[in-house]
Amino acid sequence: MNSEEILVGHSVIKIIRGDITQERVDAIVNATNPSLRPGGGVCGAIHRAGGQAVTQDCRRVMAERQPLVPGEAVATVAGDLKARYVIHALGPVWKGGKQGEPEELASAYRNSIELADRLGLSSIAFPSISTGIYGYPLMPAANIALRALRAALERTRTVREVRIVLYDPDSYEAWLAAAR
Ligand code: ADP
């Protein structure tokens, strides 16, 4: 199988191809929008697969807080998904790379891992945040994400397995290249 595993301390990062809505993990990360609306892309797919419970819990969270800023992550229930939580992380919109996008993208991954660790979770699945509708170029995004994940995993208490679930062949190849 053409996949890649990176060992980091007591943890592993796995690069795999698939549909993240089918993953069986403690937390599925959603590449969300500032107001946690269903929207399109992977976010729409996660809301559809998780069902009303996810969308309603997003509304409950938003009733009590301001819109997310890029890099932030919040947890909700996972509804019908094979997960305990959805962690909604907001990546940056690509504006050329000189307006804080790399730091914001790294924060989205780091904050998701730290939130999962605070919740005592062991496994977490990520999509390729910001590289769809938000337009972040794939190779730099994968490199930044892997660096941020390695650094975050050095400090985790409970998170042991990170799966990067790539839907399309181009994303998968870019992440494999970054991992190697
Ligand atoms: P963003 O707005 O953060 O760019 P998108 O949803 O547009 O988010 O895209 C992020 C990535 O998620 C893209 O590479 C897209 O191909 C991928 N994607 C879409 N549907 C799924 C899915 N079901 N599982 C995993 N990844 C998906």
Whichever domain contains 41, its CATH number is 3.40.220.10
Report the nearest atom of ligand 1 relative to the CA of 44: 6
The token duo for 34 is: 């500032």
Residue type (1 letter), 176: L
Question: Taking a C-beta distance cutoff of 8 angstroms, is the pair 124, 88 a contact?
Answer: no
pTM: 0.98
Residues contacting ligand 1 via CB (< 6 Å): 19-21, 31, 41-43, 45, 91, 127-134, 165, 167-168, 171
Ligand 1 atom nearest the C-alpha of 20 is 24
- Contact predicate 154/9, CB 8 Å: yes
Can you give the pLDDT of all 180 residues of the chain as single tens digits? 567 999 999 999 999 999 999 999 999 999 999 999 999 999 999 999 999 999 999 999 999 999 999 999 999 999 999 999 999 999 999 999 999 999 999 999 999 999 999 999 999 999 999 999 999 999 999 999 999 999 999 999 999 999 999 999 999 999 999 999
Q: Which domain does 93 fall in, by range?
A: 3-179
Q: Specify the pairing of strand 85-89 against strand 4-8.
A: unpaired
Residue type for 84, please?
Answer: R
Number of compact structural domains in the chain: 1
> What is the CA angle 107-41-50, rounded to 5?
90
